[in-house]
Amino acid sequence: MNLEIDDLRKEREACGNAINSLGLTRAWMFEHSPASADPADETYLDKVDQCDLFVSILGADLTDPVENEYARAFSKGKRRLLFVKEVERSERASGWLAERHDVKWRTFASADELAQHVRAAVADEVIKAHRRLNLTPADFEHIATQLRSEPVSFMVRTIAASELKEVTETFPELVARYPAFDEWVAKKAVQISNGDAVAYVAAYGAENAGFALVSNKEAAVKKISTLFIKPRFQSHGIGPRLLYGVVEGAARDGVEKLYITVDDGLRTILEPLLSKYGFYVEGVSARRYGAGRAEWVWAKRLIHGRLRPTQLHRFVQRIMFEERGFGLERVDARSFVARGRYDVLGSPGNSPHETLVATCASTDTLGAYQRACKRAQALTLPLLFVSIDPLPLAPAFGQCLDALDLEERFFPMYTVGRSEGLIVPIKERFAQRLIPLSNQLQMILPTRVPLRTDNVYYRYPSPLQ
């Protein structure tokens, strides 16, 4: 299986691991191949000729080798899967993507999300092509077993103070991070008993895979003191499930702000996960972990209420920028320039940052976006476009957020008005018919929350609802 991508290290690793996890498939990646006397371009193209399935990831730019390899896969009639990162692209990459009518490509925002999409798509291709690939019944049963959701599922739960030592000892790497581990456990156990902290454990089947500890700070503020995933379970969706459990618990407790401090060495690993769940960079403290090692502060604002379309522009101004110390300069009734030390979505970089922010609460989302693009290009500024309705096409310029993105970033807030909906079955047997199991030919991986029969709740209607 051939794998040719832009320079996206984390995404390449996540994609390769997802392919290899299926048991019947193996990914070829250039950086993992042995030394060869053959020219590099011949090595790439030979692997394209040999592969059964060509997987490509498009990031911010498109290089000549990637374009040539895709063209080779197309000319050879190879099955192709294309995954597109939600990032601002170069003119060349955008133009190439606009011409990709030969495949149905899938967007992703993080390496974890990409791994889920790749695993499902590759498994679906293998299942559909089991005759062409000469799979035996035993092979087919093997991959079906790998994909079934019933035998292995995630569970995130809180634990009592009496369980803390036993649970944390199942994470050897975590124990190694605390020189006085027993003292740390004893201190946190007291905090849990007093209601000043909550410990979460994420279980993958019968094994503990992730751990988080949340401590109370001032009123309506909590800190994620520990967030740890076992290395071999990374890129399996454990981190998002665990972090969602922490955020959900904070929302139930009426928390208005949740924050975490991250060692500079772990920032690149945790940054995609934190930003996906609405955490923003608040600041950096130098030498907190030693010389040359900074501590990054990421915070999430939890909004307890409803956001109506008429409130969108003021909400974006006040919550997303004014509260975070950005300077604002009004452009018109629906746009402004934001200036701050970090970019508008919290990513660090050279300061100061200037971004044109435009909002749209009307149904003319595409028209408003096109006008915002022209204005941003005229001002030579990057663009953040925030709308109620999702953009009907992949953004060719700037970054875009819609109502569901805002709900995700500011959970438990929800948006009143036009939104997507889900069918909630009232009996388990109906869910079994509506939601296919992973081993069936049809794969369901919704954009926000994967639906499976082990994470759907059933209830009968009552006369009060």
The answer to whether 347 and 426 have CB atoms below 8 angstroms apart is no
Q: Are strands 280-285 and 295-301 parallel, antiparallel or unpaired?
A: antiparallel
Tens-digit pLDDT profile for residues 2-31: 433 345 788 888 888 888 877 667 887 665
Degrees (nearest 5) of the Cα angle 213, 275, 340? 115
The answer to whether 395 and 385 have CB atoms below 8 angstroms apart is yes
The answer to whether 229 and 218 have CB atoms below 8 angstroms apart is no
Distance CA(401)–CA(406), nearest Å, equals 7
Write down the pLDDT at residue 438: 41
Q: What are phi and psi of 51, to 5 degrees?
A: -75, 155
> What is the residue whose two structure tokens read 């595409």?
366
The CATH number given to 2-147 is 3.40.50.450
- For residue 440 the two structure tokens come to 């069936």
The CATH number given to 307-415 is 3.40.1350
- For residue 20 the two structure tokens come to 């290899």
> Does the fold of domain 307-415 match that of domain 154-301?
no
The answer to whether 357 and 319 have CB atoms below 8 angstroms apart is no
Average pLDDT, the chain: 79
The answer to whether 48 and 71 have CB atoms below 8 angstroms apart is no
Q: What are phi and psi of 322, to 5 degrees?
A: -60, -45
Write down the pLDDT at residue 152: 55
Percent of all residues in the chain with a pLDDT value above 90, rounded to a whole number: 26
Residue type, 447: T
Task: Report residue 250's pLDDT band, with 50, 70 and 90 as the boundaries.
Answer: very high
Write down the pLDDT at residue 45: 79
DSSP 3-state of 236 = coil
pLDDT mean over 133-145? 62
Distances in Å between the Cα of 279 and the Cα atoms of 25, 344, 362 are 36, 12, 27
In SS3 terms, 160-185 reads as CHHHHHHHHCCCHHHHHHCCCHHHHH
Res. 120: pLDDT tops 80: yes
Instruction: Give the global pTM.
Output: 0.57
Q: Return the DSSP state at 28.
A: B
Res. 41: pLDDT tops 70: no
Tens-digit pLDDT profile for residues 285-324: 776 666 667 788 889 999 998 999 999 999 999 998 888 8
Task: Report residue 453's pLDDT band, with 50, 70 and 90 as the boundaries.
Answer: very low
* Beta strand segments in 183-332, E: 197-204, 207-216, 221-229, 257-263, 280-285, 295-301, 306-307, 327-332
Domain ranges of the chain: 2-147, 154-301, 307-415, 421-465
Classify domain 154-301 by CATH architecture: 3-Layer(aba) Sandwich (3.40)
Largest CA distance in the chain: 75
Residue type, 27: A
